[in-house]
Structure 1
Amino acid sequence: MTDFSKTIKLPSTQFSMKANLAETENNWIKFWKNNNLYKNLKEESNKFEKFILHDGPPYANGNLHMGHALNKILKDIVCRTKFQSSLDVNYVPGWDCHGLPIEWNIEEKFRKSGKKKNEIDLGVFRNECREFASLWVEKQKEQFSRLGIQSDWSNIYTTMTRSSEVSIVKELLKFLESGELYLGFKPVMWSVVEKTALAEAEVEYKEKISKSIFVKFPVQNMSEDLSIIIWTTTPWTIPCNRAIAYSQELKYKKILILSDYDQKNLKKNDKVIISENLIENFLSRHKIEKFSILDDVNEDELKKFICSHPLKKLGFNFEIRLYPSNHVTDETGSGFVHIAPNHGVEDFEVGLKFGLDNSETVDDGGIYSDNVPFFKGIHVYKADEEVIQQLGKFKNLLSDEDYNHSYPHSWRSKAPLIFRATSQWFISMEKNKLREKAIQEINDVKWIPASSKNRILSMVKERPDWCVSRQRSWGVPITIFISKKSNKPLIDKEVNAKIISKLNELGIDAWFEKPNDFFLTNKYRGEDFIKVDSILDVWFDSGSSHVFVLKDQGLTKKADLYLEGSDQHRGWFQTSLLESC
């Protein structure tokens, strides 16, 4: 006998010799569905203590990827384990449905049909966005189900249902009524591609090669050939310059050039001023061998200097003065910082303190405005070489070289960002001690791993006020009126209650479709107010989800678990935290 297997008595089994998972897994899912497994499990667990895992909503745009799978499978493991531990698990899958990626898809759809976005009725455009998001919610729901995720897929939440959107508006108006929401004019991270402001959670830092330049600002009220030297990695901001900043903590020296250095646009007997601690680096960098270090230059002298703009001959005919600022250091450069009030946080603060002109210099698409001589109409992305060329032409460029550094980019478009001062809506971190409350709540939460607590603490401690407004079309509107007379927001609880009532009745699209009087009470005239047409940051939407998924459903217990990737320390974890404080 050669078939020895027949001499052994083996147990019988219905298990196939092959897994055949492509078919078997579908049979399992079909069996669970036909037998109402999850429904029965929920009914049997109803008598137990509740365990709430609040789902961070994925974006309803495109097929699932490995990140989605990892996220939902981990949550599924937790939920199954808690069911087996005799707990009543509350887990409602959700989707984030507003925002730019969906807008872009719809814009592309219309472009293919030969229509531009501004030619499309807003209501039609928003409806297309809503249908697109609905399509992908259904597709992703099927894909999650195919992964074997155990849930009631008929009970989900999205940020675009009427009840969700109205809840988001309610949360916004709470911030308005408390005084924490304000309309401010300040520099924000701005995407010239997306033509909107971005919040910290929408920014990612990547390596970028920029042009760094040393520039002379000639002192025009002195008899000697004297210049202030500045260094910058954003040449395109030179046409936006209005001042120079120095540090009251640094020592400055005057240097006499003893030979001609034509390639550096320095000639014999020129004098330049830089920080004492940066002299050696400056001279070696520019290969200046013949020089003499002269006297100290004190603050009183710096204050008296009046410089001309390095591009004066192109029409920049205003005086450039020097002002003190704490943000100036001697870590690199010259110890002086050129100030473009609309294009940097510290620049803006210096401009505000000393009354500098902050007229618009760059529009929402990144184009120099009519206020900028010579360069108007040029895109800032394409301006560096032209600025450098003109500085060289007028002998005010000392050097230019490539500079590799970490630079902010849009996490959606991947394009580099600029700072741009605009009117935006902000939630104050200091008003009503929001930052302090958030830090206390962080300390009261158990963080896994424990090191992640330090990460979010450092972010909240240092974060600026939250910019919550966006200049786009697909999102929850900022339902606020601005007085034409005072230019201040109307804060009236009766008006807010009427707004909420009307949106509950008709949906949030009514905000864009109905006249002012439709929402205002009889105390006010519609023609006296401007209706805000900006929309909310989508992170505000998802940050409100604990309200319409838990609180509005009668759950008084706080969520037991938020389980997301580490990137949510600057995203959903943080916005949920701030909105719940």
Structure 2
Amino acid sequence: MCADVTADYSNTVFLPETEFPMRAGLPAREPDWLARWEQIGVYDRLREKQGRVPFILHDGPPYANGHLHIGHALNKILKDMVVRSQQMMGRDARYVPGWDCHGLPIEWKIEEQYRAKGLNKDDVNVVAFRQECRKFAEGWIDVQRSEFKRLGVTGKWEKPYLTMDYHAEAVIADEFMKFVTNGSLYQGSKPVMWSPVEKTALAEAEIEYHDHTSHTIWVRFKPHSVPQTNDIDLRTHEDLRNAAVVIWTTTPWTIPQNRAIAFNPTIEYGLYEVVEAADNSTAKVGELIVLANKLAESVMSAAKVTQFAKRRDVPAIQLEQMNFSHPYRGIEGGNGEWDYNVPMIAGDHVTDDAGTGFVHTAPSHGDDDYQMGLKFQLPMTYNVEADGSYRADLPLFGGQFIIGADGKEGAANVSNIKALHAQGALLAKGKVKHSYPHSWRSKAPVIYRNTPQWFVAIDKPLDDGMSTYGDTIRKRALNSINQLVTWTPIAGRNRLHSMIEARPDWVLSRQRAWGVPLTCFTKVGAKPTDADFILRNAEVNARIKAAFEADGADVWYVQGFKEKVLQGIVDPSQYNQVFDVLDVWFDSGSTHAFVLRDREDGSADGIADLYLEGTDQHRGWFHSSMLQACGTKGRAPYRGVLTHGFTLDEKGMKMSKSIGNTVAPEEVIKEYGADILRLWVAQSDYTVDLRIGKEILKGVADSYRRLRNTMRFLLGNLAGFTDAEKVAPADMPELEQWVLHRLAELDGEVRKGYAAYDFQGVFQKLFTFATTDLSAIYFDIRKDCLYCDPADALRRRAARTVLDIVFHRLTTWLAPVLVFTMEEVWLCRFPGEGSSVHLLDMPETPAEWLNPALAAKWEGIRVARRVVTGALEVQRTAKVIGASLEAAPVVHVADTAILSALKSLDFAELCITSDLQLTADPEPAEAFRLPDTPGIGVVFERAMGEKCQRCWRILPDVGSHKHPGTCQRCNDALG
């Protein structure tokens, strides 16, 4: 009997019903969810949950001086995913955002504003100037807070921490005064990285390296005298009497500060004679020069010497007994400034890899040089001023700039080269392009400059009762790194360890105005080495802290403050007040004290579970926090450290406004929405540098759409679902039990992944599950029963029960990543006034759902299904069939276990065919096979019968039932 093709059963099937749109419209809709979360107080409601173990991610403070860049977005999104995932796994995950407010970048901006108005910062009252800086920071905090919130980042936004809050300034000062009290603070005069443009010392973390072209010079130092009584009498070596030792340097401006020549006794040196030289060479035929043997040829080439001869080797013992004249000795107009001897000294830092084998040593302008100066008691010089110029009264060069206020090279280098040439000391000159330190703010080159600064001694034994992990700051830091901190990735541990192991004392002082002052006093007339040079008095310290708590650090600059805090304790006239400000890294390094220790939402022991920043913070915040806390707490202020890479463009190039390859977070949000930016973070390996650009974002958006379709299917097929429909797992068909098994597997993997901060791994597993296990297999198979089975059919109820179980897990598992989308998904089902997916925990998943035997069986079933779908796709491509329901293939299976598994269920249903035959007969030659699945062959056959007008299956019984054009199943469903 033919089917009645006019029958319309469309209103009898359970088609998906949902208001969840296919198009997300995230840019327009996300702000509404942000407003809703704020209105219902999601963050504070989570804090009300009792009995939870706290998880504290301490926020590394961004600097409050500009709009966010993509690196900020990466950092804050990672932090948010950590906090949200920990919260949903049962912790009390608190997040207090913070800002770094003091320091040079803000001060520099205010100075620029002053200069534009024709004002001089030094003519303005310092308190008034500091207030301008404070207002500037406040403005940018408001801007950045809004931008961070737009990324979907949760936290205590209405009460962040600011390093310029009065309490914060009081604590920073108090933490500094602990170093005053424990004796690790000292004033020393040593070379530090100095910015002539910004007129202040800089920390290593404030330095970045760029290519720079420097002058290079080879300079003769001629012997001044030889010892009269020695084991080896140099008077017998007339050739050495007349020989010059040559040094090589890329800083000609340091020559006036030369105090020694360093050599290495392990290097082989020789005495060389110039035989022939080019006309434009400064070398003279017959001239004798001492050089490292390995470098003689390169030096002679630079000096345009066309022929030279080695006379003999020069033993180290002969070199170390020699004295030389400074190249400017006796120079006209020198006024005797350089009429002194220059000794030869031995140093391990000298190599014969480059140069001459001899190192020009100016203790005031380099760390190696300074250390040699200490060892050999060389004089320090103070020839260079704060603005990068020579002191005005320096003969010949007074007032000349090394680096000018504009960051460009001054006259000092060229003037020295000319003076050396006039003295006959210049053997050769040139230029070299090399990596050179620059200020990361002004982008101008820096110099090493000797200047009195305040330091914390990191190797001085501390008698402070906190020696569990060592008696010095360095030992405590290294022990913390090795024993107390978990590193993600582990390479971070090695990087910070090597930095702490090799670092010098910590320079704390800056010669600026906007910051927390070094709250200490020095005794008039005392030397820095005197025991009573620094005033150490607990009552004075307490007064300072109380004053800062009440009125902020500005009070330090108010007339009469010194007298106020010292009166009645010591004679104020006997003490000088220090007006340098603290390195801002000390500010941020102290945040553990006024955030983790002092806030009610801080940590009980003042230690964070996690610090999370970019890899540059191994020399920045991770580093300074470690040093600061080891001096005042005895250990690191964190239990875990996570570091991420930098952001690059799609080609792997560093982003630059001048190149035009930057990707602004606000532009991504405007086009795609913040969830796409968050998904980009989750899909990336953050342990290395991350690439982003238009094509990458298109790929991310495509992944998002596929995932959104999965969630839409769930919502559409759960319409009207109630608890009364639920089926116990034991009563479910095998297919549903297999999905439950996969959920149980995933539950462990997701929790393990989130605990390890492996967001990429978590998302990849969930995405594969959603798009393959669910969309491509389970949903594909179960669409028929969901649409066409009777409402009370066990199979349909079981499927809907599983969809409900999947829904609750996918929404909560993905909520830390796709904060807006999962909220939308949740509210489509549960739209209550105070409802939010972010108020939930990830549901517990019963371990008994795990069924390895069933999973193994279904692995074989899936393999066989893949061969069948492959065979049907060939027929569909050839337009033999339009849909798989037109097929009734014959499946040949050689493996008896797989064949038995396939026969135990309705394999036609799984393959979405109208019929299917299983056989153990050998597969015929024409059978379709897949290369990686031997033993399974598929022969295509058409389904026999008519097409059911309700479910579209082609079956022999269609048209033989009460309802026209239906199969038995659909006829029964219609009643």
Same fold, judged at TM 0.5 (above): yes
**Aligned to 1:184, what secondary structure does the other structure show?**
strand
Distance 2:35 2:552 in 1: 37
Question: Relative contact order: is structure 1 or structure 2 higher (C-alpha 8 Å, sep ≥ 6)?
Answer: 1
Moved more, 237-246 or 163-172: 237-246
Work out which of the two has the higher radius of gyration on C-alpha atoms and give 1 or 2.
Answer: 2
Q: Which residue of 2 aligns with 1:164?
A: 168
What one-letter code is carried by the residue in structure 2 that aligns with 1:241?
Answer: N
Question: Residue 434 of structure 1 is aligned with which of 473, 479, 490?
Answer: 473
In structure 2, the partner of 1:467 is: 507
Residue 14 (structure 1) aligns with: 19
From 280, 300, 303, the equivalent of 2:297 is 280
Q: 1:306 aligns with which of 324, 339, 344?
A: 324
Q: Equivalent of 1:176, from 176, 180, 192?
A: 180
Identity of aligned residues (%): 43
Residues 219 and 308 in structure 1, CA contact (< 8 A), matched pair in contact too: no
SS at match of 2:149: helix
Tell me which residue corresponds to 2:384.
362
Report the more deviating stretch, 516-525 or 231-240: 516-525
2:361 to 339, 342, 353: 339
Q: Which of residues 397, 400, 406 in structure 1 aligns to 2:426?
A: 397
AA aligned opposite 2:549? N
- Residue 136 of structure 1 corresponds to 140
SS in structure 2 of the partner of residue 367 of structure 1: coil
Partner residue, 1:564: 613
Which of 88, 91, 101 aligns to 2:92? It is 88
2:479 counterpart letter in structure 1: Q
Partner Cα separation in structure 1 for residue 399 and residue 304 of structure 2: 37
Give, in angstroms, the shift of residue 114 of structure 1. 1.9
- The letter of the residue matching 2:97 is P
The aligned runs of 1:146-545 (5 Å cut-off) are: 146-221=150-225, 225-259=242-276, 261-298=278-315, 299-300=317-318, 302-310=320-328, 312-314=330-332, 315=334, 316-326=337-347, 327-380=349-402, 381-382=409-410, 383-432=412-461, 433-443=472-482, 444-487=484-527, 488-515=533-560, 516-545=562-591
Distance 1:431 1:368, change over 3 A: same
Mapping of residues 110-125 of structure 1, within 5 Å: 110-125=114-129
Q: Is the 8 A contact 1:229 1:336 kept in 2?
A: yes
Q: Confirm or deny that 1:28 pairs with 2:33.
A: yes
Secondary structure at 1:53 match in 2: strand
Separation of aligned partners in 1, 2:475 and 2:371? 24
- Supply the distance in 1 between the matched residues of 2:37 and 2:294 (Cα, whole angstroms): 73
Q: What per-residue deviation string (whole Å, max 9, x for no partner) do you get for residues 454-477 of structure 1?
A: 111111101111101100000000
Q: Distance in 1 between matches of 2:629 and 2:90?
A: 29
Worse-matched range after superposition: 84-93 or 262-271: 262-271
Aligned residue for 2:669? Answer: none
Once the two structures are overlaid, the 10-residue window that deviates more, 345-354 or 335-344, is 345-354
Does the 8 Å contact 1:494/1:521 carry over to 2? Answer: no
**How far is 1:276 from its partner?**
2.8
Distance 2:105 2:618 in 1: 22
- Which shows bigger deviation, 273-282 or 508-517? 273-282
Q: String of CA shifts for 1:72-94, please: whole Å, max 9, x gaps.
A: 11111111112211211121010
SS at match of 1:431: coil
CA deviations 1:434-466 (Å, max 9, x no partner) are 111101101121100111111111111011111
SS in 1 for 2:246: strand
CA distance in 2, matches of 1:504, 1:308: 55
Q: Which residue number corresponds to residue 884 of structure 2?
A: none
Rounded to whole Å, the distance in 2 between the matches of 1:374 and 1:479 is: 40
Distance in 2, matches of 1:185 and 1:116, equals: 29
Which amino acid is 1:549 matched to? Answer: V
- Hey, what's the Cα distance between the residues in 2 that align with 1:76 and 1:330? 51
Q: CA shift at 1:544, angstroms?
A: 0.6
User: 1:397 and 1:293 mapped to 2: Cα distance?
Assistant: 21
Q: Is the 8 A contact 1:126 1:474 kept in 2?
A: yes
State the 1:158 CA deviation: 0.5
Distance in 2 between residues matched to 1:477 and 1:360, nearest whole Å = 25
Structure 1 stretch 344-353 or stretch 442-451: which is displaced more? 344-353
Query: Is residue 608 of structure 2 the alignment partner of residue 553 of structure 1?
Result: no
- Taking only aligned residues, the RMSD between alpha carbons, in angstroms, comes to 2.3
Query: How far does residue 361 in structure 1 lie from its aligned partner after superposition?
Result: 0.9
Return the alpha-carbon distance in structure 1 between the equivalents of residues 262 and 43 of structure 2.
65
CA distance in 2, matches of 1:267, 1:17: 85
> Structure 2 length as normaliser, TM-score?
0.57
Farther off after superposition, 569-578 or 384-393: 384-393
- State which drifts further: 446-455 or 146-155: 146-155
In the alignment, the residues of structure 2 paired with residue 390 and residue 176 of structure 1 have an alpha-carbon distance, to the nearest angstrom, of: 46
Shift of 1:107: 1.0
Kindly tell me: are residues 39 and 121 of structure 1, through their superposed partners in 2, closer, same or farther at Cα, counting changes over 3 Å?
same
Q: TM-score, normalised by structure 1?
A: 0.94
Contact residue 213 and residue 235 of structure 1 kept, 8 A: yes
Aligned with residue 575 of structure 1, among 602, 619, 624: 624
In the alignment, the residues of structure 2 paired with residue 110 and residue 547 of structure 1 have an alpha-carbon distance, to the nearest angstrom, of 35
* Residue pair 1:239, 1:372 contacting (<8 A) in 2 also: no
**Partner amino acid for 1:183?**
Q
* SS of residue matched to 2:214: strand
Q: How many Å apart are 1:371 and its aligned residue? A: 4.7
The answer to whether the 8 Å contact 1:211/1:233 transfers is yes
Q: In 2, Cα distance between the equivalents of 1:9 and 1:551?
A: 58
Gaps of 5+ in 2: 227-237, 403-408, 462-471, 528-532, 631-975
3-state SS in 2 of match to 1:482: strand
The alignment covers a number of residue pairs equal to 578
Distance in 1, matches of 2:588 and 2:127, equals 23
SS at match of 1:550: helix
Q: Distance in 2 between matches of 1:262 and 1:339?
A: 31
2:765 is matched with none
Distance in 1, matches of 2:124 and 2:191, equals: 31
Read off the aligned partner of 2:390 and give its amino acid letter: Y
- Aligned residue type for 1:545: T
Residue type of the alignment partner of 1:163: H
1:321 aligns to what SS in structure 2?
Answer: strand
CA shift, 1:353, in A, is 3.8
CA distance in 2, matches of 1:158, 1:423: 30
Q: Which amino acid aligns with 2:40?
A: N
